[in-house]
Amino acid sequence: MIVFNEAEKIFTLFTPHTCYQMKVDAQDRLLHTWYGRRPENAADCPDFSETRVTHLDPGCWPDLLPLEYSAPGVGDNRVPAVVPEYADGTEAAELLYAGYSIQKGKYALPGLPAFRASDEAESLCITLRDAAGLETALWYAVYADCDVITRAAVFTNRGGAPLTLRKAGSFCLDMPGWPLDLLTLDGAWAGERTVHRAPLRPGEQTIGSVKGVPGHGHSPSAVLCTPDATETGGECWGVTLVYSGSFALTAEQCEAGTRIVGGVHPYHFAWTLAPGETFATPEAAFVYSDTGLGEMSRRFHRAIRAHLLPPRWTRRDRKRPVLINSWEAFYFDFDEERLMELARAARRAGIDLFVLDDGWFVGRKAETTSLGDWRADPEKLPDGLPGLCRRMNEIGMELGIWVEPEAISPDSDLFRAHPDWALVIPGRRPFEIRNQYTLDFSRPEVVDGIWQQLDAMLSSCPIRYLKWDMNRGLATVYSAALPAARQGEVYHRYVLGVYELQRRLTEAYPDLLVENCAGGGARFDCGMLYYTPQIWTSDNTDARARLSIQYGTSMIYPCETMGAHFSSIPNHCTGHLSSMDARMALALSGTFGFELDLTKYSEEELAQLTPFIDWFHAHNALLRSGELYRLTPPTADNLGAAWCFAAPDAGEAAVFCVGSALAGRGERCPRLALRGLDENAVYEDEEGRRYTGFALQTFGLPLPGTMGQTPAAKWYLRRVE
């Protein structure tokens, strides 16, 4: 619900449990006054701004005011949200209130993914104007069903001369100077989205990427929380960007309090607006919780499921297949007969889908060649993809395929025909990473050319799954299609080109299950999830490493979006040994699949996999739509963690515990207390044992105390009384 008090010029955005409030002051500045727990009445909200201007003249101290959206050059000396450069070279703007509108439904951001409209959604647009010509429309949408507020900014040049946006932030949020912790999701290849939390210190603290993708190093999300915040208590303010390119999130603590701004990274960003032209920023989604990090995450999860993921993949009756990927089994060394041998072994275990990874296209025997030539290699697949697909279908398997649409090899037919399609700075040596260049997706003709190849491939036979990979960051970024003065648009236009190709792909083939990937988890963000329901979480499939990777990812993203596979030991990334139960627990908690050579398994070993596959199918709806409760975080050495999925009505739960927490000593019997259940109900496990909900949430489940390499256990509980 959105309410405007016209007499006092106060805007209030209500969700069931939160409240976001702004007001227009006497100088027509838009001030942020409250974001937190919802009071009974809008008039009862505290006013942040009053604490900033006590005994001061507010007209003289703009950098002490909680501005709803900030610009430089006129007295606010904190990190700005937008930086316009006018034709005379000035970089200054005083954004003053000019009007508002409230509408039913969700605002639109053409060409950009965003949380989808719902019947309950309402949108607010507040217009701010600078006298020199920059008009800023601040858009807000309220989702009453999941306690989420989204924001975006749309800029219009109302002046008579061109202006250039040197920075275009999606949001600015000013808060009081309370002690706060900053929580970010950081890491590296094979160790993405590990939780890092530290007290917010004075000055600016920035996470971001200038790679053209969010990268392995930082997720485009951040959380500010009170120092006492835990899974079950404390205040948390979370934000995530719906964007898949270079980004920056900056938290600044200064004498005025705390500010956080975020959006497209300002490096190599310069967007020129002719008179009358507009530019829309990516969307940002906000969640507040006064009951800890766990509830903050669940609110993000509900919103992503209900309003971001492709609706056709969120229906409870729409099961996703259990797949096997060929990469860790064969790498590039395979032919059709080896593929069929693996497929037959997988089918005997109960696996539904065979995914042919890298190496299937013409001339591709190593990483050095052929990216961009998306035609089957006749030496490996004599009858092409249609022939392989036919043979797979004959044994009851569906076929999936791997592609890397944004890449081009110097040794490829596509590069020989269109060398200008690669990103390269004139007069400089092209920069190869992994023996490849990046295609200039800022150019529509390049997007068209790759689309024609993908469309021909997908229409040739019933391919059911596509893994879209992207294995490098952008470099030597220059587009031959744009003049020198507009090269600052290339990074963002590149992302728009990726979105356009994903839009065409998913609209033309609505039943095609697409999984995004970027060298593992370098592009795990809400922008990608708008088009595809899952993303490969990390190239590291080791169960121990996945404890922290999937734990951190779950801070924002629901577990059913996380590509997670059972793989061989020793693990190909880490060399670790983990038990079958531990590897299964992490895989079952994501999309569930396999990444190993099952032709080396005996019939008895294959039969050991089948009960896990049957268990996944039996509880698919719960694992995909259950509320996640992180029961114990990963230990410092990644040797233990526990979590559960509870149905929203508390009617059932799936519980997982991995690692050292299981190892009882002597007569001690460690136990695991659950959450998300009905304390007044009785639950039964798969062995017929019964427990009260109260006992499960206080005394807990008895852990078996197994020993060995990363022991693990799982339970399914069903309410019976």
pLDDT in tens, 31-63: 999 999 998 776 677 776 665 544 445 555 788
Kindly report the average pLDDT of the chain as a whole number. 94
- Give residue 713's pLDDT band: very low, low, confident or very high (50, 70, 90): very high
Q: What is the mean pLDDT of residues 242-259?
A: 96
Q: Active site includes 119? A: no
Distance CA 244, CA 221 (A): 12
Instruction: From the candidates 469, 525, 542, 581, give the one annotated as an active-site residue.
Output: 469
Q: Which residues pair with 263 in a beta bridge?
A: 169, 248
Report pLDDT for 670: 76
Q: Which of 358, 539, 542, 581 is catalytic?
A: 539
Closest CA to 108 of 97, 95, 121, 89: 121
Query: Helices (DSSP H) in 442-534: which residue ranges?
Result: 444-459, 490-508, 526-531
638 band by pLDDT with thresholds 50, 70 and 90: confident
Residue 665: its pLDDT value, please? 45
Convert the pLDDT of each residue in 432-476 to its tens digit.
888 999 999 999 999 999 999 999 999 999 999 999 999 999 999
User: What was the pLDDT predicted at 661?
Assistant: 54
Q: Tell me the per-residue pLDDT of 344-371, one tens digit each, with 9 for 90 and over.
A: 999 999 999 999 999 999 999 999 999 9
pLDDT in tens, 100-119: 999 999 999 999 999 998 77
How many other β-carbons are positioned within 10 Å of the β-carbon of residue 590? 22
373 is catalytic: no
The confidence band for 646, taking pLDDT boundaries of 50, 70 and 90, is very high
Mean pLDDT of 191-209: 97
Cis peptide, bond prior to residue 382, ω within 30 of zero = no
Cα–Cα distance for residue pair 439/405, rounded to 1 Å? 8
Determine how many CB atoms are found less than 10 A away from the CB of residue 12: 23
The strand ranges marked E within 105-256 are 122-129, 134-143, 148-157, 163-175, 181-186, 194-199, 203-209, 221-225, 236-242, 247-254
> Which pLDDT value is given to residue 131?
96
Given this model, what pLDDT does residue 118 score? Answer: 72
pLDDT tens readout for residues 394-407: 999 999 999 999 99
